[in-house]
Amino acid sequence: MPTDRVLSPARHSGEVGDEQEEALLTGQHVDRKGQTGRSRGFFTRWKNPIIITWAAIATIIILVFGVLYVRSHPNDDKPTPGAPNTPNAPKISHTPNPPSDPNPTNDPKPPKNKKKKRNLIFMVSDGMGPASLSLTRSFRQFTENLPIDDVLTLDKHFIGSSRTRSSNSLVTDSAAGATAFSCGLKSYNGAISILPDGNPCGTVLEAAKAAGYLTGLVVTTSITDATPACFNSHVNMRWEQDRIAEQQIGDHPLGRVTDLMFGGGLCHFLPNTTIGSCRGDDRNLIAEARKSGWEFVYTIDGFKYLRMGKFVKLPIMGLWASADFPYDVDRKDTEYPSLAAMAETAITALDIATRWSDKGFFLMIEGSRIDHAGHGNDPAAQVREVRAFDKAFEVVRKKIDEMETETIVISTSDHETGGLSTARQLHETYPDYLWYPSVLANASHSSEYMAKLLADFSELGKTKITKYIKDELLPLQKITDADDEEIARLVKAKTDGLSSAYVWADMISRRAQIGWSTHGHSAVDVNIYAYPPEAAKKLWGNHENTEIGVFLRNYLDVDVEDVTKKLREGGTHAKWMGKELDEILEEEEKSMGVGGKTGEVTVNGLDSYHGVHKRACMH
């Protein structure tokens, strides 16, 4: 059995022997034989303090280097354009991917179990074809005295083109075009996210909202017009704008699906008992929206109060025009916000609102009135509208670079309008190879604006009207060579109570030697733009417009099909979608080119020639 040992007191490691003390004082060598225990006394005494001191110094050094590294690499924890493992980067990995990797770097679908927070901005240049870009590029170079290689922002981000036909025509309208974007499916001209069988199709915006994203729409036309409506509404025909407005504020099977709406169209939200209303009933949608929590802005001062998105409370609706915004060439910035300003405000507001969320936002921005200028064959208005859209794209690009969240912008057109040609043969002699941007630069207003000035002229009599045209109106457009026939056409339009807009547009187009083939749409392919381009690699080249819609949903990884199922719970032709198509066409006595019966609309093929040339030419 062990016994307790009594330990004698150990000699303190700090004690120094006589020999060592003498050596320290005299500097003489000490023979250490037989003195092994004593020789370690000094080191044993200071060992622990030395270790602690060095550990503290090492810790401080590590912390200092860590802080310096973090400060020099502030973005290492967020996706940036060109960074590894982001959709827009070249594939970089520490271990090689197998050949069967279903999610290559450039696929818009995020890898499973590695979902990233993303924002998607989708821009629509309504009615803008390739010729519109050529026209505007040359106009800008002329007016700003730029070299030929100084191109538009859009030119620098071109990635492909899109085919635009609808389900029932080679020439689409904006409704079918936007349905292709929002639902990723073809439908008939006039359909607002409704398919030819009468069923609604879920949209990328609705699916994004259901998945937790914030959503927004920014336009320069009525917010109830075809393109914006196709993202958050479902009606059988596009001119059911009263019903569209009701759905947009939340009278919808899914409830409110939009957090921000900027544009025009105030008249569809006001009761028909109010001056300025265009509704067919007395519903006050502004009052209803406010009760549901919507903020409402309708003055330029109200827009300025938003401080470019820093002071925005969602949901918010900004409606700064009764219907459409004026053309950019006619617009006063003191009354209407620009497309670029609205875009920046919306992006900033949505970015701030999603800062602490694991989901980002979806925002659709439309340059709406490019299309209207094409319908009016008005080149002076169109170049300014395209220019405004190009500026908005540049603002979006810069905002993407500033934001921490991975963000992409895709821009395309739903169709081309007007059949624009940047040259025109005016006589039978050998054609001139030229056009004159100076004519467009000299025009200070749109043909729409000029027509209104003439229509508002109150004095009667051809002589007074002629004098007003020559003395007041022609100088505004710097037209000094108007012939008698042109002036007679303007006078006739005034005296007959008709719009003179087409006459004014033709006067400008002829002098600029710009041609048009239609006041409607054309079937020409339209361009696709993206930033960063690598993130949109799936859209490089030529694509059907529905492929753009599929890309949008895949990029956000949202379940559009699930939304479609929920929308269809009420059955085909549900009452919440408004009037039946046959009823609408019968009431309006017009078909927008889709025929008078639903059966004629649902044909999923191309129409044939029916020998109507003579009849068409008579109109």
Active-site amino acid positions: 174
Measured CA to CA, the distance from residue 87 to residue 109 in angstroms comes to 9
How crowded is residue 138: how many other Cβ atoms within 10 Å of its Cβ?
16
- Are the C-beta atoms of residues 172 and 166 closer than 8 Å to each other? yes
> Is the distance from CB of 153 to CB of 518 less than 8 angstroms?
no
Cβ atoms of 200 and 244 closer than 8 Å: no
Annotated ligand binding at 375? The verdict is yes
Q: What separation in angstroms does the CA of 557 have from each of 105, 116, 213, 256, 449?
A: 15, 10, 11, 21, 45
Annotated ligand binding at 432? The verdict is: no
- Whether 29 has a binding-site annotation, put simply, is no
> Which stretches within 73-168 are classed as H helix?
130-143
**Contact criterion met (CB below 8 Å) for 567 and 253:** yes
Give the separation between CA 216 and CA 364, rounded to whole angstroms: 6
**77 labelled as ligand-binding?**
no
Element holding 526 (H helix, E strand): strand 526-531
Establish whether 557 is an annotated binding residue.
no
Q: Is 225 annotated as a binding residue?
A: yes
Range 173-209 burial, b when 16+ CB lie within 10 A, else e: bbbbbbbbbbbbbbbbbbbbbbbbebbbbbbbbbbbb
Instruction: Look up residue 567 and give its two tokens.
Output: 């929308």
CA-to-CA dists, residue 360 to 87, 248, 364, 365, 533, angstroms: 16, 21, 14, 16, 20
Annotated ligand binding at 227? The verdict is: yes
- Under DSSP, the state recorded for 515 is B
d(CA 262, CA 363): 11
Which candidate, 231, 227, 262, 263, places its Cα nearest to that of 247? 231
User: Which residues make up each annotated binding site?
Assistant: 126, 225, 227, 366, 371, 375, 414-415, 521
